[in-house]
A and B are shown apart, each in its own frame.
Chain A
Amino acid sequence: MGLIGKIRSVGRVAEPAPEGPAQPLPAAAALGGSAQVRHVDAGSCNGCEIEIGQAFSPVYDAERHGARLVASPRHADVLTVTGPVTVNMAGPLRKTYEAMPEPRLVVAVGDCARDCGMFAGGYGVLGPVSDVVPVDAQVPGCPPEPAAIVAALRGVTGR
């Protein structure tokens, strides 16, 4: 059996987790160590999406800290947003935020989400994420490392 042999030879690929979150967000207490995450790409180049995918991969494994990606904003506590908010994505982003039940948090991932990055002033760009929905945490970087994204999510789950 190829797969059984593979499972045995690979073993555990998750890297040892660094020490606990530096400063848990004040809102993290209401979530009680679990955060369902919904992701919205508001106009990014997909670089940040690849890094978010890596943050939930076996190596960085954000799930061990209580974060889990979900399929619906109704199920979510945390909204991760990437990219400068484009004119066309401002409405869907606002609707996604409004579809989330309280308490809800927004994490802006990447330089573009914080200050439009290299796309600032583009004709299709409306502005940074904080112009459209209130932002609770930011992850700098272009693109941010998966470890930085995991650290931001740990600040939300408090674990």
Chain B
Amino acid sequence: MIPWLLAAGQAVLVMLVAPLLIGLMRAVRARLEGRAGGRVLQPWRELRKQLRKEPLIPADAGAFFTAAPAVLVATSVLVAAVAPFLSTRGPLSGVADLVVVVGLLLLGAVALALAGLDTGTAFGGMGASREMIIAALVEPTLLLAVFALSTRVGSTDLGAIVAAGATRPAEVFTPASALAAAALALATLAEAGRLPVDNPATHLELTMVHEAMVLEYAGRDLALVEWAAAMRLTILLGLLANLFIPWGVATDPHPGALAVAAGVFVVKLAALGCLVAAGEVFLAKLRLFRVPELLAGSFVLGLLAVVASSVLA
């Protein structure tokens, strides 16, 4: 019973924190650009307003368009519940391993790509095809980077990997870990639609990837899609934080340890978010045809991490 409550609490925490993370990243960026910027709570204001607005369905859209926001939110909430963010012992440990988490994230991405195609507009289809190119290159990298860590532990269970890191910190600082961290960081940026792969603040349809697929969403549906996108960023940054900085994660479901874990998790997320936002100020978006080169580079890093961890271990 307690692991299930814990999973629900973790999902609620990610749902609450995700829009704040976006607000924090926008605030950091605004500060570095010399602007005053919006409040950190502003994304929550936008979500609250959009949840109250009517959703509009385009005349040509079908079932994929209406189902995609629900699928996207459901997969994000499920991953948020089972991933080892607060405690390494989830209710589904043994089932909810690395492959399932990556698969759920991919399911959400595919649902949104189908929704983009379903509207029948040129930009929706364009965004969908680009998203699939990126997803096809990113998902193997995500898997490989974490495989490099799982060979050390002998399990693909994310909770076991994080628990091993938390109890034996010396093993976190290995060449394989450094390579895997670099690969996973690049894959995270690409999967979450951040610079240099996609620009979340763009208004130019021709350069859009994620935005192009959601151009036709309005009101409540748009709120769900944006919320899920924020949750995916939070999930990926949270995984990055807990796999490579595994301290503070509770290894037993003790209330005090869990409270500390929640605080440490939020601090880690905020630090990573600030780092990403500050880095984005110095970056321009890559030309689309250069993106596969970057992602191939991150895949090679992941491959080297796997080789290093099996040879050097």
Contact = CB atoms under 8 A, between A and B. Distances in A.
Interface of A: 3, 7, 10-14, 17, 30-34, 36, 58, 61, 63-64, 66, 68-72, 74-75, 77, 99-103
B65 to A, nearest CB: 12
A101 B36 CA distance: 29
Given A66-B38, A69-B203, 14 more contacts: A3-B282, A32-B45, A32-B49, A34-B42, A36-B46, A61-B37, A63-B35, A63-B38, A64-B30, A66-B42, A70-B203, A71-B208, A101-B54, A101-B56
B293 interface: no
Nearest to A7: B32
Nearest to A70: B203
Q: Is chain B's binding surface mostly helix, strand, loop or mixed?
A: loop
Count class of interface residues, chain B: 20 to 34
Contact of A11 (B34, B48, B203, B281): B34
Given A69-B203, A101-B55, A34 B37 contact: no
Contacts of A68: 38, 46
A75 to B, nearest CB: 6
Q: Is chain A's binding surface mostly helix, strand, loop or mixed?
A: loop
Given A12-B34, A63-B30, A64-B38, A74 B216 contact: yes
B52 interface: yes
A31 B49 CA distance: 6
A3 B32 CA distance: 10
A64 B45 contact: no
B35 A61 contact: yes
A102 B53 contact: yes
A71 B205 contact: yes
Contacts of B218: 74-75, 100-101
B217 interface: yes
Interface of B: 30-38, 42, 45-46, 48-49, 52-56, 202-205, 208, 211, 215-219, 222, 281-282
Most chain A CB atoms below 10 A, which of B45, B205, B216, B282: B45
Contacts of B215: 71-72, 74-75
Nearest to A71: B203
Contacts of B53: 77, 101-103
Nearest 3 pairs between A and B by C-beta? A74-B218, A14-B36, A13-B34
B36 A64 contact: yes
B55 A64 contact: no
B36 A17 contact: yes
Contacts of A7: 32, 34, 281
12 contacts: A10-B34, A12-B31, A30-B49, A34-B42, A36-B46, A58-B34, A64-B38, A71-B208, A71-B211, A72-B215, A75-B222, A102-B54
Contacts of B56: 74, 99, 101
